[in-house]
Amino acid sequence: MKTSRISRVMQILTTLQAGKSYAVGDLSKMFGTSRRTIFRDLNELQAIGVPYHYDAKAGGYAIGPEFFLPPVDLNLQEALSLLLLAHEASKQIQLPFKRSALLAALKIENNLPVKIRQYCNSALRSISTKAAAQALVRQEGGLDKTFAQLQGAIHGKHKVSVSYYSLFDGKIIELELCPYHLLYNCRAWYVLGFSDLHKSVRTFKLSRIKELEITDKCFVGGDKFNLADYLGRAWSMIPEGRIYNIKLRFLPKVAENVTEVQWHSTQQVARNPDGSATVEFRVDGLGEITWWILGYGDQVQVLAPKALRTRVAEIAQNIIKLNDSA
């Protein structure tokens, strides 16, 4: 699962301000990225004036807890970036507490110097983002209520009682959950935690939660839950416990479109003389990547493994049968 660079840099800043030193290897594991990327992020912090230092005795990096960034001393680029994020991000990401985010943006905008505020207002009129499809949270109170309850339960280490519509079971199931982490992925919010029903860590989509209640039962553990470790090499967010070497050939019509995106951390690309592209991944599980491959229709060949090629072919044949009988 890839964290956006801005988000990751801000999380590193917050982590280093916590009063503890972290080695590059620790940060790499914590944020699910390479050591090289962490060094680039540290250079980014240095470039914007964040005074982190290396503690040779502790063997890690840290930032003095007294350091803080001035809240409204923004230059033109900083102000425009922040307001663009506030105004446009909610079109792409289903933000909880959207009204609060908008109010915060308005407060920041109101405190900008007049010339910067006028420039930002003019610039924002000529910048747009296209809204993405987003999951609907049908529980009474919507996303804000569900998100706030889970956030509070995670912070207070309280178990939650959940009525959840399971697609696998085709019905509403009842379970008690020890919530560990909230994750936004694939246009929807998810909570990850230990389910007493499944006796393992599971992922639950917030939009399928019908009822949720914080209990007075507390849970221990959860502090060591690491999202990067849990997701491993899953294509998106559901590891299946077996690694496959995936090899695909994308035809010239879509080759450029596919290869200009980093779909997975293990991605390797080879461009072929005929304009096609061979793309390889090492992925945990076949379920999620199968549906991604099908999205490219007759413009992709599954070269390996055979199990994936068979699965894709069977689904494609079922699509033909379904539409022939329509």
Neighbours of 14 (CB within 10 A): 10
| pLDDT at residue 2, rounded to an integer | 42
146-180 per-position pLDDT tens digit: 999 999 999 999 999 999 999 989 999 999 999 99
Give the CATH number, domain containing residue 316: 3.30.70
Please indicate, yes or no, whether residues 208 and 279 belong to a single structural domain of this protein.
no
3 has a pLDDT exceeding 50: no
Please indicate, yes or no, whether residues 271 and 320 belong to a single structural domain of this protein.
yes
Mean pLDDT of 107-131: 77
Domain termination site, one of 89, 124, 159: 124
190 has a pLDDT exceeding 90: yes
Q: Who has greater pLDDT, 141 or 305?
A: 305
Q: Who has greater pLDDT, 12 or 295?
A: 295
Residue 68 falls within a domain, yes or no? no
Residue 234 falls within a domain, yes or no? no
Please indicate, yes or no, whether residues 120 and 165 belong to a single structural domain of this protein.
no
Please indicate, yes or no, whether residues 59 and 80 belong to a single structural domain of this protein.
no
139 has a pLDDT exceeding 70: no
Mean pLDDT of 234-256: 95
| pLDDT at residue 1, rounded to an integer | 35
| pLDDT at residue 223, rounded to an integer | 81
Residue 230 falls within a domain, yes or no? no
Residue 288 falls within a domain, yes or no? yes
Residue 236 falls within a domain, yes or no? no
Please indicate, yes or no, whether residues 146 and 102 belong to a single structural domain of this protein.
no
Mean pLDDT of 249-267: 96
Give the CATH number, domain containing residue 58: 1.10.10.10
Please indicate, yes or no, whether residues 310 and 250 belong to a single structural domain of this protein.
yes
Q: Which of 1-10, 93-102, 242-251 has the lowest mean pLDDT?
A: 1-10
Q: Who has greater pLDDT, 120 or 153?
A: 153
Residue 134 falls within a domain, yes or no? no
Number of domains into which the chain is organized: 4
Please indicate, yes or no, whether residues 160 and 99 belong to a single structural domain of this protein.
no
Q: Provide the domain limits for residue 15.
A: 5-63
100 has a pLDDT exceeding 70: yes
Q: Who has greater pLDDT, 100 or 210?
A: 210
Domain termination site, one of 162, 195, 225: 225
Q: How confident is the model at residue 5 (pLDDT cuts 50, 70, 90)?
A: low
Output the pTM of the full model. Answer: 0.69
Domain termination site, one of 174, 199, 225: 225
Please indicate, yes or no, whether residues 157 and 192 belong to a single structural domain of this protein.
yes
Burial classification of residue 88, based on how many CB atoms lie within 10 Å of its CB (0-12 exposed, 13-18 middle, 19 or more buried): middle
* Phi then psi dihedrals of residue 214, to 5 deg: -80, 130
Give the CATH number, domain containing residue 193: 2.30.30.520
| pLDDT at residue 234, rounded to an integer | 94
Mean pLDDT of 271-286: 97
Q: Per-residue DSSP letters for 121-189?
A: HHHHTT---PPPP-----STTHHHHHHHHHHHHHHHTEEEEEEEEETTTTEEEEEEEEEEEEEEETTEE
Residue 129 falls within a domain, yes or no? no
